[in-house]
Structure 1
Amino acid sequence: MAHGSRVFEEPTSPGTPTVVPGIVPVVFGTAPVNLVQGIDNVNKPIKCESFTDFKKQFGFSKDWDNYTLCEVADAAFIEFEVAPFIFVNVLDPEVHKKRLTEQTLTIENHKATIKNYGVLKKSLKLIANNETLKEDVDYIASFNDDGLVTIAFLTIQEAVIAEYDMLDPSLVTATDVIGGYDVDTGKASGLECINKVFPRLRMVPSLILAPKFALDPTVAAVMRAKATSVNKYFKSFALTDADTSETVVFTDVFGWKNDNGYTGKLEAFCWPLVAKKNKVYHLSTHLACNILKVCTINKNYPYESASNKTIPIDKIVVKKGDSYEEVELEPNQAEILNDQGIVTALNFVNGFVTWGNYTAAYPDVTDIKDKFHATRLMHNFIGNTIVLKTWEKVDGPIRRRLVDEIVDEMNMWMNGLQGEGAIIGGRVEARAEDNPKEQLTEGKIIFRYFVAEPTPAQEIENILQVDTSYYDKIFN
Structure 2
Amino acid sequence: MSEYKHGAFASIEKTQDYIAPAGVGTLPVYIGRAPVHQLEDASASIGVPLLINSYNDALAKLGYSEKWHSYELSEAVYAHFKTSLGAIGPIVVINVLNPAEHKATTQKVQEITFAKGRCELQSADVILNTVEIEGKVRGTDFTAEYTPDGSRIILKDLKGTLAAEQLKYWETNPTDVMEDDITQALNTALPLVYQMFNKIPTLLCAPNWSHLQTVAGAMLSAAHKINGHWYAYCNLDMPSDASVNTIETAVAKKEECAVGAGASLYWPMARKGDRVFHLSTLATMLMQYTDYSNDNLPYESPSNKPIDIAGLCLQDGTAIQYDQLQANVLNAAGIGTAICWGGKWVLWGSQTSLYKHGTDIDPKDRFDCSVRMLYYIANRFQSKYGNEVDKPMKRSRVETICNDFQAELDGLCDVGAVLLGNIRFEETSNPVSDMVSGNFVFDLETTTTPPAKSITVKIQYTAKGVSVLFGGDE
TM (normalized to structure 2)?
0.91
Q: In the alignment, which residue of structure 1 is the partner of 2:416? A: 421
Matching residue within 315, 326, 342 for 1:349: 342
Report the AA paired with residue 455 of structure 1: P
Q: How much has 1:146 moved relative to structure 2?
A: 4.5
Out of 39, 52, 71, the residue aligned to residue 36 of structure 1 is 39
Corresponding residue of 1:171: 176
**Partner residue of 1:249 out of 246, 258, 276:** 246
Give matches, 1:74-473, under 5 Å.
74-79=78-83, 80=85, 81-98=87-104, 99-127=106-134, 132-147=135-150, 148-153=152-157, 154=159, 156-179=161-184, 189-190=185-186, 192-245=188-241, 246-259=243-256, 261-319=257-315, 323-349=316-342, 351-363=344-356, 364=359, 366-473=361-468
Report SS of the residue matched to 1:94. Answer: coil
Aligned residues: 453
- CA contact under 8 A between 2:210 and 2:216: conserved in structure 1? yes
CA distance in 1, matches of 2:287, 2:112: 48
Q: 2:114–2:163: 8 Å Cα contact kept in structure 1?
A: yes
CA–CA distance in 2 between the matches of 1:119 and 1:88?
Answer: 21
Q: Does structure 1 conserve the Cα–Cα contact (< 8 Å) formed by 2:64 and 2:149?
A: no
Aligned-partner Cα distance in 2 for 1:352–1:140? 44
CA distance, structure 1, for counterparts of residue 145 and residue 235 of structure 2: 38
> Aligned partners of 2:260, 2:467: CA distance in 1, in Å?
58
Shift of 1:298: 1.4
Secondary structure of the equivalent of 1:135? coil
Deviating runs (4+, > 4 A) in structure 1?
Answer: 8-11
Aligned-CA RMSD value: 2.0
Residue ranges of structure 2 left out of the alignment (5+ in a row): 1-10
Deviations for 1:391-412, whole angstroms, at most 9, x for unmatched residues?
Answer: 1111111221221111111111
Counterpart amino acid of 1:212?
N
SS of 1:213's equivalent in the other structure is: coil
Distance in structure 2 (CA, Å) of the matches to 1:407 and 1:337: 43
Pair 1:427–1:62, CA change in 2 (3 A): same
**1:269/1:136 CA distance change after superposition, 3 Å:** closer
Contact kept? 1:100, 1:165, Cα under 8 Å: yes
SS at match of 2:433: helix
Residue aligned with 1:167, SS = coil
Q: After TM superposition, give the deviation of residue 9 of structure 1 in Å.
A: 6.2
- Post-superposition offset of 1:116: 2.5
When normalised by structure 1's length, the TM-score is 0.90
Q: Which runs of 5+ in 1 are unaligned?
A: 1-7, 180-188
The alpha-carbon distance between structure 1 residues 354 and 137, as it changes in their structure 2 partners (threshold 3 A), is: closer
Task: Report the equivalent of 2:73.
Answer: 69
Look up the match of 1:186. none
1:139 CA drift (Å): 2.9
Residues 231 and 372 from structure 1, CA distance in 2 versus in 1: closer, same or farther, beyond 3 angstroms?
same
Mapped partners of 1:278, 1:289: distance in 2: 20
Deviation (angstroms), 1:37: 2.6
Instruction: Note the C-alpha offset of 1:282.
Output: 0.5
Q: Give the CA deviation at 1:344.
A: 0.7
CA distance in 2, matches of 1:155, 1:50: 37
Residue by residue over 1:35-54, the C-alpha shift from the partner in whole angstroms, topping out at 9 and shown as x without a partner, is 22335111111111221221
Give the Cα–Cα distance (whole angstroms) in 2 for the partners of residues 308 and 92 of structure 1: 39
Overall identity of the aligned pairs, in %: 25
The whole-number CA distance in structure 1 between the counterparts of 2:383 and 2:365 is 22
Measure how far apart 1:71 and its partner are.
0.6
Counterparts of 2:433 and 2:342, CA distance in 1: 61
Sort the Cα spacing of 1:433 and 1:255 in 2 relative to 1 into closer, same or farther, 3 A: same
CA contact (8 A) 1:262 1:269 kept: no
Classify the secondary structure of the residue corresponding to 1:150. strand
Q: Is contact 2:144–2:155 with CA below 8 Å preserved after alignment?
A: yes
**Corresponding residue number in structure 1 for 2:3:** none
Deviation at 1:204, TM superposition (A): 1.0
Out of 371-380 and 41-50, give the one that drifted further. Answer: 41-50
Contact 2:271 2:317 in 1 (8 A): no
Q: Cα 1:138–1:78, aligned 2, differ >3 Å: closer, same or farther?
A: closer
